[in-house]
Amino acid sequence: MSDLQECTTLNRQIFETATLILQDQYDLSSTTLILAGDFYGESYFDQNIQKRIEIRGKTGLVDYENLTINKLPRFIVYGNHDLPNPKLDLCKHLKLSNGTQINGVDFIESKDFSNFFKEIKTALKLKPDVFVSHETPLLQNNSKGNINLTKLVKTYKPKIHIFGHCHFRSPIFFRM
Protein backbone atom coordinates (compact mmCIF):
# COMPACT_ATOMS: atom_id res chain seq x y z
CA MET A 1 0.00 0.00 0.00
CA SER A 2 1.27 3.51 -0.68
CA ASP A 3 0.44 7.15 -1.39
CA LEU A 4 -2.51 7.87 0.90
CA GLN A 5 -1.87 11.60 0.88
CA GLU A 6 -4.96 12.79 2.66
CA CYS A 7 -5.35 14.14 6.18
CA THR A 8 -4.43 11.73 9.01
CA THR A 9 -8.06 10.94 9.87
CA LEU A 10 -9.02 10.18 6.27
CA ASN A 11 -5.84 8.11 5.73
CA ARG A 12 -6.80 6.02 8.75
CA GLN A 13 -10.35 5.52 7.40
CA ILE A 14 -9.01 4.48 3.97
CA PHE A 15 -6.54 2.10 5.59
CA GLU A 16 -9.20 0.55 7.84
CA THR A 17 -11.63 0.15 4.93
CA ALA A 18 -8.97 -1.51 2.77
CA THR A 19 -8.10 -3.83 5.67
CA LEU A 20 -11.76 -4.80 6.14
CA ILE A 21 -12.13 -5.54 2.43
CA LEU A 22 -9.01 -7.71 2.49
CA GLN A 23 -10.13 -9.50 5.68
CA ASP A 24 -13.34 -10.53 3.91
CA GLN A 25 -11.24 -12.30 1.27
CA TYR A 26 -8.08 -13.41 3.11
CA ASP A 27 -6.75 -14.48 6.49
CA LEU A 28 -4.47 -11.56 7.39
CA SER A 29 -3.16 -13.10 10.62
CA SER A 30 0.02 -14.29 8.90
CA THR A 31 0.36 -11.41 6.42
CA THR A 32 3.28 -9.00 6.49
CA LEU A 33 2.15 -5.46 5.76
CA ILE A 34 4.36 -3.61 3.26
CA LEU A 35 3.98 0.17 3.02
CA ALA A 36 5.74 1.97 0.14
CA GLY A 37 5.64 5.52 1.45
CA ASP A 38 3.78 8.81 1.16
CA PHE A 39 1.27 8.38 3.93
CA TYR A 40 1.55 12.03 4.95
CA GLY A 41 -0.87 14.47 3.48
CA GLU A 42 -3.14 17.36 4.22
CA SER A 43 -6.62 17.89 2.89
CA TYR A 44 -9.87 19.59 3.80
CA PHE A 45 -13.48 19.46 2.74
CA ASP A 46 -14.58 22.60 0.85
CA GLN A 47 -18.22 23.21 1.78
CA ASN A 48 -18.77 25.57 -1.16
CA ILE A 49 -18.05 22.98 -3.83
CA GLN A 50 -18.80 19.91 -1.67
CA LYS A 51 -15.44 18.33 -2.48
CA ARG A 52 -12.32 17.23 -0.63
CA ILE A 53 -9.30 19.36 -1.57
CA GLU A 54 -5.86 17.77 -1.31
CA ILE A 55 -3.00 20.13 -0.47
CA ARG A 56 -0.11 18.79 -2.56
CA GLY A 57 3.55 19.05 -1.67
CA LYS A 58 3.28 19.10 2.12
CA THR A 59 5.70 17.04 4.21
CA GLY A 60 5.31 15.72 7.75
CA LEU A 61 5.43 12.88 10.26
CA VAL A 62 3.20 9.87 9.68
CA ASP A 63 1.47 7.93 12.45
CA TYR A 64 2.81 4.58 11.22
CA GLU A 65 2.27 3.06 14.67
CA ASN A 66 -1.47 2.87 13.91
CA LEU A 67 -1.10 1.44 10.40
CA THR A 68 -1.07 -2.24 11.26
CA ILE A 69 -3.12 -5.35 10.51
CA ASN A 70 -1.70 -7.85 13.01
CA LYS A 71 1.17 -8.42 15.47
CA LEU A 72 3.72 -9.28 12.76
CA PRO A 73 6.52 -6.89 11.82
CA ARG A 74 5.66 -4.38 9.12
CA PHE A 75 8.01 -3.28 6.37
CA ILE A 76 7.93 0.45 5.70
CA VAL A 77 9.84 2.76 3.37
CA TYR A 78 9.38 6.51 3.57
CA GLY A 79 8.09 8.48 0.59
CA ASN A 80 9.07 11.95 -0.52
CA HIS A 81 6.27 13.52 1.58
CA ASP A 82 7.11 11.58 4.77
CA LEU A 83 9.51 12.84 7.42
CA PRO A 84 11.44 10.06 9.19
CA ASN A 85 9.90 9.43 12.60
CA PRO A 86 12.69 9.35 15.22
CA LYS A 87 10.49 7.21 17.51
CA LEU A 88 10.16 4.50 14.86
CA ASP A 89 13.12 2.21 14.21
CA LEU A 90 12.58 1.06 10.63
CA CYS A 91 14.73 -1.82 9.49
CA LYS A 92 15.38 -1.90 5.73
CA HIS A 93 16.09 -5.65 5.77
CA LEU A 94 13.49 -8.11 7.03
CA LYS A 95 13.62 -11.90 6.89
CA LEU A 96 10.23 -13.55 7.36
CA SER A 97 9.74 -16.84 9.19
CA ASN A 98 9.30 -18.62 5.84
CA GLY A 99 12.72 -17.36 4.68
CA THR A 100 11.46 -14.58 2.41
CA GLN A 101 13.94 -11.68 2.41
CA ILE A 102 12.57 -8.12 2.03
CA ASN A 103 14.89 -5.14 1.43
CA GLY A 104 14.03 -1.55 0.63
CA VAL A 105 15.06 2.09 0.29
CA ASP A 106 13.38 5.34 1.31
CA PHE A 107 12.40 8.38 -0.74
CA ILE A 108 13.02 9.16 -4.44
CA GLU A 109 15.96 10.34 -6.53
CA SER A 110 16.57 14.04 -5.85
CA LYS A 111 19.28 16.47 -4.84
CA ASP A 112 18.34 15.81 -1.19
CA PHE A 113 19.11 12.10 -1.44
CA SER A 114 22.49 11.94 -3.15
CA ASN A 115 23.16 8.34 -2.02
CA PHE A 116 19.87 7.08 -3.42
CA PHE A 117 21.24 4.75 -6.12
CA LYS A 118 24.10 3.60 -3.91
CA GLU A 119 21.52 2.53 -1.31
CA ILE A 120 19.44 0.77 -3.96
CA LYS A 121 22.44 -1.11 -5.29
CA THR A 122 23.46 -2.13 -1.75
CA ALA A 123 19.93 -3.41 -1.01
CA LEU A 124 19.65 -5.30 -4.31
CA LYS A 125 23.10 -6.89 -3.99
CA LEU A 126 21.72 -8.75 -0.97
CA LYS A 127 19.46 -10.64 -3.43
CA PRO A 128 16.11 -9.98 -1.74
CA ASP A 129 13.01 -11.89 -2.77
CA VAL A 130 11.04 -8.65 -2.41
CA PHE A 131 12.48 -5.18 -3.06
CA VAL A 132 10.48 -2.15 -1.87
CA SER A 133 11.05 1.42 -3.04
CA HIS A 134 8.97 4.53 -3.02
CA GLU A 135 10.48 5.55 -6.36
CA THR A 136 8.76 4.11 -9.43
CA PRO A 137 10.76 2.34 -12.14
CA LEU A 138 10.24 3.42 -15.75
CA LEU A 139 7.33 1.25 -16.78
CA GLN A 140 6.63 -0.30 -20.15
CA ASN A 141 4.51 1.95 -22.38
CA ASN A 142 4.59 4.74 -19.81
CA SER A 143 6.38 8.05 -19.46
CA LYS A 144 6.41 7.93 -15.65
CA GLY A 145 9.25 6.39 -13.72
CA ASN A 146 12.99 6.32 -13.19
CA ILE A 147 15.10 4.60 -15.86
CA ASN A 148 18.11 4.21 -13.54
CA LEU A 149 15.99 2.33 -11.01
CA THR A 150 14.68 0.13 -13.82
CA LYS A 151 18.23 -0.73 -14.90
CA LEU A 152 19.23 -1.74 -11.37
CA VAL A 153 16.10 -3.86 -10.83
CA LYS A 154 16.66 -5.59 -14.19
CA THR A 155 20.31 -6.23 -13.29
CA TYR A 156 19.69 -7.71 -9.81
CA LYS A 157 16.27 -9.28 -10.56
CA PRO A 158 14.36 -9.45 -7.27
CA LYS A 159 11.34 -11.76 -7.57
CA ILE A 160 8.99 -8.89 -6.70
CA HIS A 161 9.44 -5.11 -6.76
CA ILE A 162 6.85 -3.14 -4.81
CA PHE A 163 6.85 0.63 -5.34
CA GLY A 164 4.77 3.76 -4.88
CA HIS A 165 5.22 7.41 -5.90
CA CYS A 166 3.33 7.46 -9.24
CA HIS A 167 -0.41 7.75 -8.87
CA PHE A 168 -2.09 5.22 -11.15
CA ARG A 169 -5.83 4.65 -11.27
CA SER A 170 -5.42 0.96 -10.47
CA PRO A 171 -2.62 -1.40 -9.40
CA ILE A 172 -0.25 -2.47 -12.15
CA PHE A 173 1.53 -5.78 -12.56
CA PHE A 174 4.11 -6.72 -15.19
CA ARG A 175 7.28 -8.73 -15.74
CA MET A 176 10.50 -6.80 -16.27
**Across the strands, what pairs with 60?**
82
The whole-chain average pLDDT of the chain stands at 82
CB 135 within 8 A of CB 162: no
Report pLDDT for 62: 79
CB 160 within 8 A of CB 131: yes
Instruction: Decide if pLDDT at 176 tops 60.
Output: no
What's the average model confidence in pLDDT over 95-106? Answer: 91
Instruction: Decide if pLDDT at 173 tops 80.
Output: no
The 10s digit of each residue's pLDDT in 77-100 is: 888 888 887 777 677 888 888 899
Among positive and negative, which fits the CA dihedral 97, 20, 65, 134? positive
Q: How confident is the model at residue 53 (pLDDT cuts 50, 70, 90)?
A: confident
Torsion of CA 101, 174, 107, 44, to 10 degrees: -120
**More confident call, 54 vs 168:** 54
**More confident call, 102 vs 113:** 102
What's the average model confidence in pLDDT over 105-119? Answer: 80
- Tell me what percent of the residues of the chain surpass a pLDDT of 70: 85
CB 40 within 8 A of CB 58: yes
Q: What is this structure's pTM?
A: 0.81
Rounded Cα–Cα distance for residues 111 and 113 (Å): 6
Instruction: Decide if pLDDT at 25 tops 60.
Output: yes
